[in-house]
Amino acid sequence: MSSRSSLLTPHSSPQFAVLPPLSIYIHVPWCVRKCPYCDFNSHEARGTLPEDEYVAALLADLEFALPQVWGRPVLTVFIGGGTPSLLSVAALDALLSGVRARLPLAADAEITLEANPGTVEAEKFRGFRAAGVNRLSLGIQSLNDRHLQALGRIHDAGEARRAAELALATFDNVNLDLMYGLPGQAPAEAEADIAALIALGAPHVSAYHLTIEPNTYFHRYPPAVPDDDDAAAMQSAVEARLADAGYGHYETSAFARPGRQCRHNLNYWTFGDYLGIGAGAHAKISFKNNILRQSRLRQPKAYLAQAGTAEAIGEQREVVAAELPGEFMMNALRLNAGFGLELFQARTGLGIAGILPQLEAAEARGLLTRDHRRAAPTALGRRFLNDLIGLFLD
Ligand SMILES: C[S@@+](CC[C@H](N)C(=O)[O-])C[C@H]1O[C@@H](n2cnc3c(N)ncnc32)[C@H](O)[C@@H]1O
Ligand code: SF4
C-alpha cells in the first residue's frame, strides 16, 4: 500500500461534524523603514499612509468574505504587519467597529495589535485600548544599541524600554519580541539581552533565532552571524533564563506566564480556521466537506484597487485530504505539549487510523512520545522538527 493511500483511510475527504474555532488576521503592509532581515509583506511608507482608503478596503474585503463564515463567532483578532501601530487611533477605531458590525466577535475576544517601539506614544496606546485592543505585541528585538543598529531598527534601547513600560502600563496583555544570533553578537550579550527583556516583566515573550531569508538585504549582503555552537548556546541560555523566570515554553519560539499564552497563535497551532484580510494575508476556512486556503494580492496598490471583489483573492485552493496530516503536524508539533489525538480528527476531519503508521515510525525514531490520548514531540523531535514533520508529508 502506498503511503498516500494509507493516509486516506478511512475517509477520502474531510468530514466535519463541528467546524474549528475561527480567528481573523488583518494585515497592515507599511513600515517606517524596511528592516534588512525582514521578508514579511511590508513596504516603506512614503508620505502619508492611505489609511482611510485602506480601512475601507479591509472592510470591503471582509464583507466579501462573510458568506464563507456565516454565523460563526470570532474568538481572536490579530492586526499584524508591517507596522499596524502606524495607523491613527481614528483609523483603528473605524476598523474594529467595522469588524464588530460585520462579525459576531466573542465578548472576551483577544484583540492583538503589533507595534514597533519607534512608533509609540502614550496617547495613541490609550486610544488603541479604548478602540478595543487588549493585547499589544512589541518588536523589541534587542536592548543593545549596537545590535539594534546592525538590525537597521528605527529605535534605540532606551526607546524600546520606554515603549515596553508604556505598553505594560496600558495593556494587561503584552508580548515582547526578541531576536538572538544577531550580527556580531556574543553569547554573553544574548544572555544579557534576555535578562534585560525579562526584567521588563511582560507576561509573554517570543524569542526568535535570526534567520537570513531569501529576498532580503541580509541575503544579498550577509552579515557575520554567530557560528552554530554559539547560536546553540544562545538558544539554551534564552530558554533557561525564561524558564527560571517562570515562563512556560509552549511553542518553538513562544514563552508565557501561566494563562497568558497567545490565543490567536494557539488557534493556528491547533489547526483552527482563520480569515485573512489585507494585502498578502492568508486564510484557512473549513466547510462541512472541504478546507480552503486563500491568499490576498500582496501589493498594497493592487489590493487597494481590487479589495471587495473576487480579484483581491489572488489564490484559492482546496486542500486535498492527503495533504491534511502534514499540514496539521506542521502546526501541532510546534507545541511542546503536542496534541490530543481527538484534535487530529476534529481539525482535519480525517480518522486517526490513517496516520498510525507514521506515528509509530516517529515513536520508533525517538522523535515523538504518545499514549492512547496524546502525542508530543520529544526533545529530539523538537530539535529535528522538520524530519519529524516530514514523516507526515504527502
Ligand atoms: C511582523 S514583525 C513584528 C512587528 C513590527 N513590525 C516590528 O518589527 O517591530 C514580527 C516579528 O518577527 C521577528 N522576525 C522578523 N523577521 C525575522 C527573521 N528574519 N528572523 C527571525 N525573526 C524575525 C521579529 O522579532 C519581529 O518582531
Ligand atoms: S518593522 Fe517589522 S515588519 Fe517592518 S520591516 Fe521591520 S521587522 Fe519587518
Residues of the chain with CATH 3.20.20.70: 20-267
Give the burial string for 110-130 (b: 16+ CB within 10 Å, else e): bbbbbbbbbbbeeebbebbbe
Does ligand 2 have an atom closer than 6 angstroms to the CB of 103? no
Check residue 6 and give its pLDDT: 39
Give the chain's length.
Answer: 394
Ligand of minimum distance to the alpha carbon of 137? 1
Does ligand 1 have an atom closer than 6 angstroms to the CB of 112? no
Check residue 8 and give its pLDDT: 43
Q: Which CATH superfamily is domain 20-267 in?
A: Aldolase class I (3.20.20.70)
Check residue 12 and give its pLDDT: 66
Whose C-alpha lies nearest to ligand 1, atom 17?
A: 38
Please confirm whether the linkage preceding 82 is cis (ω < 30° from 0).
yes
Q: How many helices (H) and strands (E) does the chain have?
A: 16, 17
Residues of the chain with CATH 1.10.10.920: 287-390
CA distance 177 to 183: 17
Does ligand 1 have an atom closer than 6 angstroms to the CB of 179? yes
pTM to 2 decimals?
0.95
Q: Which atom of ligand 1 is nearest to the CA of 138?
A: 9
Q: Are 160 and 117 in contact (CB under 8 A)?
A: yes
Does ligand 2 have an atom closer than 6 angstroms to the CB of 81? yes
Q: Which residues of the chain have pLDDT under 70?
A: 1-12
Cell of 136: 499589544
Residues facing 24 on adjacent strands: 77, 275
Does ligand 1 have an atom closer than 6 angstroms to the CB of 218? no
Position 236, amino acid: S
Q: Look at strands 273-277 and 339-340 and give their pairing.
A: unpaired
For CA atoms 175, 176, 177, 179, the dihedral sign is negative
CA 31 to ligand 2 centroid distance, Å: 6
Q: Are 348 and 271 in contact (CB under 8 A)?
A: yes
Query: Looking at the domain that runs over 287-390, which CATH code has it been given?
Result: 1.10.10.920
CA distance 162 to 168: 10
Angle at alpha carbon of residue 306, lines to 304 and 308, rounded to 5°: 100
